[in-house]
Structure 1
């Protein structure tokens, strides 16, 4: 049996991306600004991390309009939910001392 650290998801493991995925897991589909404020990062920082998550297939980005104002909504994909669950399970296993001799 290998150490649970091998089950950590390198994409999600970044503190900002972990925070983004956690917000989206709890909130469902939300506006970009909501996530930005919840995670306490700038627009460019969030955009960079969302792009990484989107390329991995973990986040879906939907662009549209609310009235005449452009908006961007974010939500976790089924793959994103599964990856987040695996990552949390690995963190819990590490915290619980799994993999100790």
Structure 2
């Protein structure tokens, strides 16, 4: 039997473009502030909140709530499982590109 087609390795939770953006940005740093994600990905607060909830429910990110001075803030941290899922997604995308070469 031949190898499965690379798109079979794409995870619908990770592959959605905004969630992929969240994971990619979160993987670049220890934590990222939610307001930065909202601006960088051009999302409404409600839309970002829903994407964060999906990723948190899948244990791909952790949310940390606190204060910066008197202002409430929320930070996102990618989990080890989230890093693994992101790398698997990128591997599948690399394989698709390799097949096109």
| Aligned-partner Cα distance in 2 for 1:19–1:30 | 12
Query: 1:27: Cα distance to partner?
Result: 2.6
Structure 2, gaps ≥5 residues long: none
Aligned residue pairs total: 98
Structure 1, gaps ≥5 residues long: none
Per the alignment, residue 37 of structure 2 pairs with 35
Query: 1:4: Cα distance to partner?
Result: 1.4
**Structure 1 stretches (4+) deviating beyond 2 angstroms?**
none
Q: How does 1:61-100 map to 2 (within 5 A)?
A: 61-97=63-99
TM-score by length of 2: 0.91
RMSD between aligned alpha carbons?
1.2
Query: 1:41: Cα distance to partner?
Result: 0.9
Is the deviation greater in 26-35 or in 81-90?
26-35
